[in-house]
Amino acid sequence: MKVAVYSAKQYDQDGFSRWADTSLQFQYLDTRLTADSVKLAAGCHAICVFVNDELNEQVLRQLSELGIEMVALRCAGFNNVDIAAAKELGIRIARVPAYSPEAVAEHTVGMILCLNRKLHKAYNRVRDDNFALDGLLGFNLFGKTVGLIGTGRIGLATARILRGFGCELLCHDTTLSNTILELGGRYVPLADLYAQSDIISLHCPLTPDTRHMINHYSIGSMKDGVMLINTSRGALIDTKAVISGLKNRKIGYLGLDVYEQEADLFFENLSDQMIDDDIFQRLLTFPNVLITGHQAFFTKEALQEISQITSDNLLAFASNTETGNELVN
């Protein structure tokens, strides 16, 4: 079965070449899937896409006209997919629901530690032979209250790590986790989580209900100097509202591994180009902001899981069976 792999990097090729079944013939494309690049999938039976590829109704209809019957997402989130259109067109959609949640959880905690203890600043200082401690004051994580919005696999993995630091856990989710309760976490309304948390970390999917859940109103109800971490989806945050929160010192620390308009930025080397996203450039001017380029998932273990599960999803389609990872079947 021939599969067009969009947004393909060398690490994707390495992963599939090592773990994929030989019956799958991958055609690697370094471009994102958009209405303009759909035609590159001509002659393929299925496509494989990542987080910033576009799967709106227009693109799905074009794929259907090319005879594409299967879309394999090599990610957990599917906010970029028009599920209703896929069902109407009879296009099967499958995802990777869990690929090393510890990878994202560990990156989350790494961002917390880096921002708090200003490790990025200390690294640069020492390289300049500056060993002064002024401006590097941090705080103990022990005893601090961390608000986790979303307690699925990644949120739970993050909770386990933070409990090891001695943090108090306030949680919010539509589904309660008994494991969270066993860890000593408490489920509270969002308003209470915002008001009581020293650190807030987002681990929920992007849906119409969660889009811009971090906005002027919610930021205003948070503690002064709160630390905000987002390793989920960029559009959970209203970036302009966050910039206002940084300027008025309501937000004391901001860690982002995702960004609302990241599709034209992340996963590419733009070091020799001018970035004309004024909002993103404004974020980079704050000394208390740490941004990584959608890196949280990026571990050997996670890439192995992604390539294996994605291959299984494609093989299940080829054999007209199911894996349980289908969003549309």
The pLDDT tens digits for 139-176 are 999 999 999 999 999 999 999 999 999 999 999 999 99
Residues above pLDDT 70, as percent of the chain: 99
pLDDT at 22: 78
Are residue 121 and residue 257 in the same domain, yes or no? yes
Are residue 21 and residue 130 in the same domain, yes or no? no
d(CA 226, CA 214): 13
For residue 181, pLDDT beyond 70: yes
pLDDT level of residue 23 (50, 70, 90 thresholds): confident
The pLDDT tens digits for 269-308 are 999 999 999 999 999 999 999 999 999 999 999 999 999 9
Are residue 47 and residue 133 in the same domain, yes or no? no
What amino acid is encoded at 198 in this protein? D
Are residue 69 and residue 105 in the same domain, yes or no? no
Are residue 39 and residue 84 in the same domain, yes or no? yes
For residue 100, pLDDT beyond 90: no
112 token code pair:
């917390």
Are residue 83 and residue 204 in the same domain, yes or no? no
Domain count, the chain: 2
Domain, as residue range, for 202: 101-291
Question: CB within 8 A of 312, min separation 6: which ones?
Answer: 323, 325
Output the CA torsion sign for 309, 313, 316, 318.
Answer: negative
The pLDDT tens digits for 123-133 are 999 999 999 99
Identify the residue with better confidence: 19 or 41: 41
Are residue 42 and residue 161 in the same domain, yes or no? no
CB count in 10 Å sphere of residue 247: 11
pLDDT at 19: 65
Question: CB within 8 A of 130, min separation 6: which ones?
Answer: none
Are residue 262 and residue 124 in the same domain, yes or no? yes
For residue 20, pLDDT beyond 70: no
Active site residues: 233, 262, 294
pLDDT at 103: 96
For residue 207, pLDDT beyond 70: yes
Are residue 136 and residue 232 in the same domain, yes or no? yes
Phi, psi dihedrals of residue 33, rounded to the nearest 5°: -80, 120
For residue 17, pLDDT beyond 90: no
Average pLDDT score over the chain: 96
Are residue 119 and residue 208 in the same domain, yes or no? yes
Are residue 13 and residue 31 in the same domain, yes or no? yes
Mean pLDDT, range 92-102, rounded to an integer: 92
Return the closest-CA partner of residue 235 out of 284, 279, 288.
279
CATH of residue 184:
3.40.50.720
Are residue 120 and residue 186 in the same domain, yes or no? yes
For residue 185, pLDDT beyond 80: yes
